[in-house]
Amino acid sequence: MAPSHYSSGARTTHAEAILGPELNARLGDTKVLLVGAGGIGCELLKNIVLTGFGHITLLDLDTIDLSNLNRQFLFRKKDVKQSKAMVAAQTAAAFNPNVHIHPIHGNIKEPQFDISWFQSFDIVLNALDNLDARRHVNKMCMAAGVPLVESGTAGYLGQVEPLLKDRTECFDCVPKPTPKSFPVCTIRSTPSQPIHCIVWSKSYLLGQLFGEDEDATGELDDAEKEGENAQEIATLRKEAQAFNSVRQALRTPGAPDAAKLAFQKVFNSDIRNLLSMGDMWKSRSPPTVLDFDAIMDGSFSLQRSTAGPSNVNGNNAANGVASVNGAVVSGSKKTEQLLNGHGHANASMSSASSLKDQKRLSLRDSLDLFVSSTNRLAARLQAGEETISFDKDDDDTLDFVTAASNLRSAAYGIEDKTRWEIKEMAGNIIPAIATTNAIISGLIVLQALHLLRQSYTHLRNVHIQYKPTVPLSSTSLAPPNAACAVCRDTYSVLLCDPARARLGEVVEGLLGGSGREVSVYEEKRILSDPDFDDNNESTLESLNVGQGRFLTIVDEEGEYGTIGVAIGALPPNHPIDAPPFILPDPLPKPARKATPPPPATPPPAAGLKRSAPHDDDGIEEVEPSAKRTKTATDTETPSAPSNPFAAPLSSPSKRRRLEEDGLVLMEDKHDKLEDEDVIEID
Amino acid sequence: MPDSQTIESATTALATRTPQPDTKTRRYDRQLRLWAASGQAALESARVLVISGSATSTSILKNLVLPGIGHFTILDHERVSPADAGNNFFLEGQSSVGKFRAEEAVRLLRELNDGVEGKADTRIIEQVLDNDPAFITSFSLVIAHNLNENTVARIAKLLWEDETYPSFVVVRSSGFLAEFSIQFHEHTVIESHSETAPTLRIDKPFPALLEYANSLDFTNMDPTEHSHIPYVVILVRVLEDWKKSHNGAAPKTYEEKKEFKKTITAMKVKVDEENFDEAEAQAYRCWTESSVPSEIAALFQDPKAFSAASSSSSTSPFFALLAALRAFTVQHDPPQVLPLSATLPDMKSNTVNYVHLQTLYKKRAEEEKAQFKKYLALSGGAGIDDALIDSFVKNAHALKLLRGRQWTSVHSSAETLGNSMAMNSKHVSTHLALASLSSLQAKQADTKVTTEALTAEAATLLPSGLELPEEWDEAAGEIARSPNADLPNMAALLGGLVAQEVIKMITKQYVPINGYCVVDLIEMWTGVVG
């Protein structure tokens, strides 16, 4: 680092020392994208304003909540419910008249934030709180070739990592812990832990009563394919269809006892139906049918003791929590440890039991809460709200989930949970404090300056840890993982009009007439392969491949690397009679591979909700991977994939045809159908 | 509802049926999940004095005001300079220039949280030391940033005079280098959040556990059931059978241990019984004796634990609890173990078996806690509330008792410094360079700081017998380059690090830094000297 003269206290001395005078002079012209205006975002915004960055784009989709104010210091009580990005920008801009802050109240995954938009920044700083957005920004930065600083905190722990394509690992080079998902039947008919009842209330019951009028049988179809108990599923199908009358009552002003009707259906008649299936209860204790009036008048008693704690995961409640929504804070091992229950105070919260929402609820309390929250939610529907989904900061939904999951727990003899605990488990809450965010944000700025100066030897992964002897540990960066399915791809940009450009011609053009055999994907959806050309004449738009999305072109023989093609908009002056797309110049040149690649890392499990918008258009979900991988794994022990449909065993189209015949393809002879009756505690 | 109300009174005042929390609990939700109501209460009763209104000082304070510290005072007689206005977020730019730094900073910091009391004091610290030392000792914690070293020494000496006086955090920063240390008399931690788990006592099974393990008929068991017996039970049983054929002794030699593991593997009825794999992996628990950890045994020797045992009115609950714990380990059967923990780790099992095992452990843990309480009543702890007893017993394997030392500019032990130098001479170089800078500037405020001047100063500071460490020139060079820079980003980071340790001290949760924590922001490392 070149010595430089400090004019003590001047705003930019800091940056000047790291950047050197020339780059420092350009700091005012540097364009920064800051994704997230939460705990880290507020701190970071203050730091980069003070450091002298001239152009800051700040994006956040969230609004301010009271629970943010213990750390997000750019917000005041009066700002609650306002846009985070807008308020943060206003507060911070006042400090430095020379800074231009452009706030955006929006979602980073929206299509207009495409590759060219990302390329307009010199550096991207992540201040995010969820895995999905982190992966998205990582991919966009890898494709755009823009340096990224990734970060995350959880309680006293935190980490920062600088990421740059071809030089360092990317966020997806190291597989992230996949969100835990539960077999459908465990959630819907045989829960054994509080988290099962919470997931049921939040993701199933709440939606059935107050959500969209959707056919909830899709996940049952999937479950049946995966080999869950057919008889049980048939019962669950009937159960799902019988929600209509309850939904009607909840939406009819003045309908008496809608809450009681809902209660009778799910805690009385549905349980009765389940009980009638004698086989199910041979090896497990049957649930108890709850009686609304008897609970109300105090004459109800549960037939068996629920005194014994049946929380199978014991101290590991946070484990379930951290993963139900898939929002794992970061890839840090230390952070994972915290998420796995090493760091939470709730285990030692005995002295906090006086807090109101940490009181144990009696069965009667839960019933009262069920009735009152159901009525509150029903009133909202009647007042014009179309659908209501779970939000941990929405008291009505949290009360409902608290009440419903405790009632279900009572019926199944499962330990109850307080509203405080349920909020954490259902809302995926990770403790967050000002100090950790301050440390992490300071480190992010330093990494950003090193990246801008291209002084790569100074880059470090830094972790905050518990060890009192080494509060910060820093490690040198690892090179990219050769098998990474995100940063090892060759990226390119295709400017086009998706309404007119057809898949076949676009792919042919991109391959430059080489005639290679390829499969083409969008995310996990297969669009074409050598045996499946039905979509070649379809426009990209009709295949839902618009601006901001990627075409992934995989070499069928695994001989060449994968090409990722970002879809961008045609320039405004593009002649109307010209072809509806502009090929990149030069054409993407994927590297020739020395050896066939190992199987791609599996995507995160889909969880309970179906995410595919395209069930009926001849498109299915598989992970992009070369066919050749099959031969590569013949002689090796294949790693067992969690999803039998993600198998690279054969061409997806063949697989689909077989499945239509009712066959389930197994990965190899070691695979078993899921036996959901076995509960594994690990 | 005002935020200044305590959590307890705010929540118990309204005895409504709905379980919804009040605004204050909502505001602090994310931190209450980390340090609980007990930590929050400690924070809210803390009074902090910060000397100087520098960018670093206000950064530290920001991180204490946000989580809701009870009170803070900034003591600073300086007025805002244009340089301050440029790098301190808690000043209002040019409009603050010329006003008292303390007053401007307090006003802006208070905006962060109306539940926090803040005061500006524009007296000169040296005069306060001369005329009003009781003012300084009235706080629960004192923080000083880049203060004249002679003044720091005076404050340190004052606060060292009495055990009840506040802890003292000394922060130094210069450009990209910084360090901080905490002078405290004694610091006890019950909730240390240790990563070591308490023993499961497989080698000394309690009667109900042994009975359960012996009652199982592994040979004629249903195969599904067989693959769901928790490893704890398998190990207890295999060890019991082993002892019968080995004169009551556990496996000792390498060969015996190998044979023991083979016995476990041989019990499998299917190759993929993971509970038996777990049992084999955890077999070491059979020959690792469950006993009082040596760190805890050392605490029993503390004079205060002895005096607590012999007096009926102990000053500190911690030592009464410690005395009771010692009595428990001596008199309980089996002897030399801590009260059983009710917490089981996760393991391969089915719900029924796991819950059964958990119930056995819980019941036994309750019985032992009841025993512990009897000893506690005898050691002056009759009035201690149950929540604290629960927490103490639960964390008995990881209790911490730290004894501090009086602040000195350079660590006063030649031996410790020498050892630190051998381990990481960069840490010591930076520590020494910052001390040399303070020392030089204490002699003459506007002295020209050069590498040579720093080197000469360091030679006088080093305990005899030690030579300057290897990386000395780089550290001294870095300081000479920018001796007085209080950089905004460094201030922000240091503010986070220092406040983090202050919160650990105040809440008595987690283990704080003990020694001089050195920070190098160019290479991005931290280390502790001492």
pLDDT at residue A8 tops 90 = no
Chain A residue with Cα closest to B54? A9
Least confident of A475-489, B139-153, B255-269, B300-314: B300-314
pLDDT recorded at residue B393 = 95
Least confident of A52-61, B98-107, B176-185, B374-383: B374-383
CB contact under 8 A, B492 and A47: yes
pLDDT at residue B429 tops 80 = yes
Q: What distances in angstroms separate CA A595 from CA A208, A558, A628, B520, one per listed residue?
A: 50, 8, 10, 44
Does residue B517 contact residue B511 with C-beta atoms inside 8 Å?
Answer: no
Partner residue opposite B21 with nearest CB, options A353, A355, A466 = A355
pLDDT recorded at residue A621 = 53
Mean pLDDT of A566-581: 90
* A373 lies within 8 A of chain B by CB: no
pLDDT at residue B4 tops 90 = no
Torsional sign, CA A96, A100, A104, A109: negative
* B269 lies within 8 A of chain A by CB: no
User: What's the pLDDT band for A608 if we cut at 50, 70, 90?
Assistant: very low
Partner residue opposite B492 with nearest CB, options A43, A342, A348 = A43
Angle at the Cα of B491 from the Cα atoms of B486 and B495, rounded to 5 degrees: 145
Partner residue opposite A156 with nearest CB, options B27, B350, B510 = B510
Six-digit token pair at A388? 């209501």
* B317 lies within 8 A of chain A by CB: no
Mean pLDDT of A613-624: 48
Question: Which pLDDT tens digit goes with each residue over A406-455?
Answer: 999 999 988 899 999 999 999 888 888 999 999 999 999 999 988 998 88
CB contact under 8 A, A681 and B59: no
Distance, in Å, from the CA atom of B292 to the CA atom of B328, rounded to the nearest integer, reads 11
CB contact under 8 A, A156 and B509: no
Mean pLDDT of A155-174: 93
Six-digit token pair at A575? 């002649």
3-state helix, strand, coil in chain B (%, to 5): 50, 10, 35
Question: Which pLDDT tens digit goes with each residue over A290-311?
Answer: 999 999 998 888 765 433 333 3
Q: Which residues of chain A does B31 touch, with a Cβ-Cβ cutoff of 8 Å?
A: 70-71, 431-433
Residue A185 annotated as catalytic:
yes
* B98 lies within 8 A of chain A by CB: no
Biggest alpha carbon distance in chain A? 83
Question: Which pLDDT tens digit goes with each residue over A342-367?
Answer: 333 333 333 334 456 778 899 999 99
* A362 lies within 8 A of chain B by CB: no
pLDDT recorded at residue A118 = 96
Question: Which pLDDT tens digit goes with each residue over B18-49?
Answer: 567 788 888 899 999 889 888 999 999 999 99
In chain A, where are the structural domains located?
A: 13-172+433-475, 184-417, 490-660
| Residue type at position B325 | L
- Helices then strands (H, E): number in chain A? 23, 15
Mean pLDDT of B491-513: 94
SS3 assignment for A147-216: CEEEEEEECCEEEEEEECCCCCCCCCCCCCCCCCCCCHHHHHCCCCCHHHHHHHHHHHHHHHHHCCCCCC
User: What's the pLDDT band for A625 if we cut at 50, 70, 90?
Assistant: low
pLDDT recorded at residue A19 = 66
In CATH, what number does A13-172+433-475 get? 3.40.50.720
User: What's the pLDDT band for A501 if we cut at 50, 70, 90?
Assistant: very high
pLDDT recorded at residue A430 = 87
CB contact under 8 A, A348 and B482: no
CB contact under 8 A, A309 and B362: yes
Higher-confidence residue of A673 and A216: namely A216
Does residue B144 contact residue B61 with C-beta atoms inside 8 Å?
Answer: no
Q: What CATH superfamily is the domain A490-660?
A: Ubiquitin-like 2 activating enzyme e1b. Chain:  B, domain 3 (3.10.290.20)
Distance, in Å, from the CA atom of B45 to the CA atom of B7, rounded to the nearest integer, reads 12
Six-digit token pair at A272? 């009765």
- Chosen for mutation from A77, A312, A441, A681 (greatest number of chain B CBs closer than 10 Å) is A681
Six-digit token pair at A678? 């076995």
Six-digit token pair at B352? 């029924």
- Helices then strands (H, E): number in chain B? 25, 10
Mean pLDDT of A364-392: 93
Distance, in Å, from the CA atom of B492 to the CA atom of A675, rounded to the nearest integer, reads 53
End-to-end alpha carbon distance in chain B? 46
Higher-confidence residue of A641 and B175: namely B175
| Residue type at position B331 | Q
Does residue B503 contact residue B141 with C-beta atoms inside 8 Å?
Answer: no
Distance, in Å, from the CA atom of A584 to the CA atom of B499, rounded to the nearest integer, reads 52
In the CATH hierarchy, which top-level class contains the domain A184-417? mainly alpha
* A402 lies within 8 A of chain B by CB: yes
- Chosen for mutation from B3, B31, B104, B490 (greatest number of chain A CBs closer than 10 Å) is B31
- Would you tell me which residues 104-143 of chain B have a C-beta closer than 8 angstroms to some C-beta of chain A? 111-114
A217 three-state secondary structure: coil
Mean predicted lDDT score pLDDT of chain B: 90
Distance, in Å, from the CA atom of A363 to the CA atom of A373, rounded to the nearest integer, reads 15
Q: Which residues of chain A does B29 touch, with a Cβ-Cβ cutoff of 8 Å?
A: 67, 70, 429
Distance, in Å, from the CA atom of B265 to the CA atom of B277, rounded to the nearest integer, reads 7
Shortest CA distance to A354 belongs to which of B414, B425, B120, B13?
B13
* Residue A2 Cα, gap to closest chain B Cα (Å): 11
Mean pLDDT of B329-358: 88
In chain B, where are the structural domains located?
A: 207-287, 294-403, 414-481
* A395 lies within 8 A of chain B by CB: yes
Mean pLDDT of B513-521: 92
- Would you tell me which residues 58-87 of chain B have a C-beta closer than 8 angstroms to some C-beta of chain A? 59, 62-63, 66-68, 81-84, 86-87
Does residue B364 contact residue B393 with C-beta atoms inside 8 Å?
Answer: no
Catalytic residue among A42, A185, A197, A484: A185
User: What's the pLDDT band for B328 if we cut at 50, 70, 90?
Assistant: very high
Mean pLDDT of B269-285: 94
- Would you tell me which residues 405-444 of chain A have a C-beta closer than 8 angstroms to some C-beta of chain B? 418-420, 424, 429-443
Does residue A382 contact residue A376 with C-beta atoms inside 8 Å?
Answer: no
Does residue B112 contact residue A73 with C-beta atoms inside 8 Å?
Answer: yes
Higher-confidence residue of B516 and B464: namely B516
- Chosen for mutation from A47, A70, A422, A452 (greatest number of chain B CBs closer than 10 Å) is A70
* Residue B378 Cα, gap to closest chain A Cα (Å): 24
Give the orientation angle of helix A395-412 with respect to helix A363-382, to 10 degrees: 140
Six-digit token pair at B372? 């512990």
pLDDT at residue B94 tops 50 = yes
Mean pLDDT of B185-204: 92
* A457 lies within 8 A of chain B by CB: no
B212 three-state secondary structure: helix
Shortest CA distance to B105 belongs to which of B124, B88, B117?
B88
Rg value, chain B, Cα:
28
Distance, in Å, from the CA atom of B530 to the CA atom of A178, rounded to the nearest integer, reads 41
CB contact under 8 A, B492 and A468: no
Mean predicted lDDT score pLDDT of chain A: 77
- Would you tell me which residues 437-496 of chain B have a C-beta closer than 8 angstroms to some C-beta of chain A? 481-482, 484-490, 492-496
CB contact under 8 A, B33 and A345: yes
Shortest CA distance to B231 belongs to which of B196, B270, B273, B260?
B273
Six-digit token pair at A302? 């549960």
Cis check: omega of the bond before B334, within 30 degrees of 0 = yes
CB contact under 8 A, A468 and B59: no
Q: Which residues of chain B does A344 touch, with a Cβ-Cβ cutoff of 8 Å?
A: 33-34
The conformation of residue A253, written as its DSSP 8-state character, comes to: T
Mean pLDDT of B484-499: 90
Does residue B69 contact residue B85 with C-beta atoms inside 8 Å?
Answer: no
The conformation of residue A298, written as its DSSP 8-state character, comes to: T
| Structure-token match 């090929």, residue found | A583
pLDDT at residue A256 tops 80 = no
Question: Which pLDDT tens digit goes with each residue over A633-672?
Answer: 333 333 333 333 333 333 333 333 333 333 333 333 333 3
Across the beta sheet with A31-35, the strand order is A100-105, A55-60, A31-35, A123-126, A148-154, A157-163, A461-464, A472-475
| Structure-token match 């100074």, residue found | A458
Q: Which are the contacts of A246, defined by CB distance < 8 A and separation ≥ 6?
A: A209, A258, A261, A262, A265
CB contact under 8 A, A357 and B25: yes
Does residue A625 contact residue A602 with C-beta atoms inside 8 Å?
Answer: no
* B419 lies within 8 A of chain A by CB: no
